[in-house]
Amino acid sequence: MSFNLPLEKYTHSICEITIGTTSREGGNCSYEIKVGGESTMPYLFKEGSQPHRAVVAMEITDIMPEEWPQTLKEPFKDVFDKPGAWANKCLKDYGADLICLKLQGAHPDFGNRTPEDCVKVTKEVLEATKAPLIILGCGDNEKDSQILPAVSLAAKGERCLIGDATEDNYRTLAASCLADGHNIIAESPIDVNIAKQLNILISDMGMPVDKIVINPTIGGLGYGMEYAYSIMERARLAALFGDNTLACPFICFVGQEAWRAKEACVAEKQSSNWGSEKIRGVLWESETAACVLQSGADILIMRHPAAVKAVKTYIDNLNKKAG
């Protein structure tokens, strides 16, 4: 007895977004990255198309990331003080598709660097790598409202992805991204309605929906992943059935969330029955990435090279199913 699996047919698709501007368009990048464009739920290739692979960006910071465990610091120990070299190491040695620069040093508690300092490091990374760039503020709204417009202007025409915009600070960042030709990250606290409302607010300022990427603020494996998965799934289904305000690619900060987990970073001598932290952390990051890929993630922000390698292989295997 044969069984024909019922197939869902969707009426709409996710917006396609381009990051990076090549020399053909007057930019500095040697290539561009395209994400989005899906007309089906993740990897259900018989129901629709998924024209672009999920991509992996590796995270770098403008200062030494003191909160990172030693296992995570080890692969980058010789480049922490050279953001351009750090970015190139991620691209050339560890296979990152693009770079995510976090301007942590601008935070009042971590150096209080000036907008001029942030512009300098952004230009250094752009010129050293010629790769598409994601730029993040320091997380302090008042300071981000000073540094992100300056950085946006400095990278004008490079079509970066800049964030994060929230309900409290979206106006300044949206205006800068719109003026300077960048994409914007809209951050919502694991809530479909807030994500939708924020996208509407940003769009009302003139920013097209196809320049917005949603950060649904996921949790790491074992720390709210199930709830984050369900919210991403609900948003993607709503978009495919016609809600244009949610028809945006997802960006997920996998490394940040995975390496917060005590299971990922507690040293072996403190929890000998958990095994080596060198293996645990990589597995925690890899499995977190695998979960969000299945819920629709288009851009993964990761940290450990071994996790990046494992996840890129996983993405290859998922996409083989399309053949």
Mean pLDDT of the chain: 94
Does 207 reside within a domain? yes
- The proportion of the chain whose per-residue pLDDT surpasses 90, expressed as a percent, equals 88
- End-to-end distance of the chain based on CA atoms, in angstroms? 26
For 212-226, the pLDDT digits (tens) are 999 999 999 888 899
Q: What pTM, to 2 d.p., does this model score?
A: 0.96
Q: CB under 8 Å to 201, separation ≥6 — which residues?
A: 167, 170
Model confidence at 201, pLDDT cuts 50, 70, 90, reads very high
Half-sphere exposure in the Cβ direction for 315 (13 Å, CA): 22
* Category of 40 on φ-ψ map: left (φ > 0), alpha (ψ -120 to 50) or beta: beta
Does 88 reside within a domain? yes
Does 20 reside within a domain? no
Domain that holds residue 185: 53-316
Dist CA 22 CA 28 (whole Å): 6
Dist CA 81 CA 306 (whole Å): 22
Distances (CA, A) of 49 to 6, 46, 241: 17, 8, 15
Does 13 reside within a domain? no
Give the CATH number for residue 79: 3.20.20.20
For 93-137, the pLDDT digits (tens) are 999 999 999 999 999 999 999 999 999 999 999 999 999 999 999
Does 322 reside within a domain? no
- Number of domains forming the structure of the chain: 1
Task: Say what the alpha-carbon torsion angle 161, 163, 164, 170 is, to the nearest 10 degrees.
Answer: -100
Report the pLDDT value the prediction gives residue 268, as an integer from 0 to 100.
64
Does 210 reside within a domain? yes
Does 323 reside within a domain? no
Does 32 reside within a domain? no
For 47-103, the pLDDT digits (tens) are 999 999 999 999 999 999 999 999 999 999 999 999 999 999 999 999 999 999 999
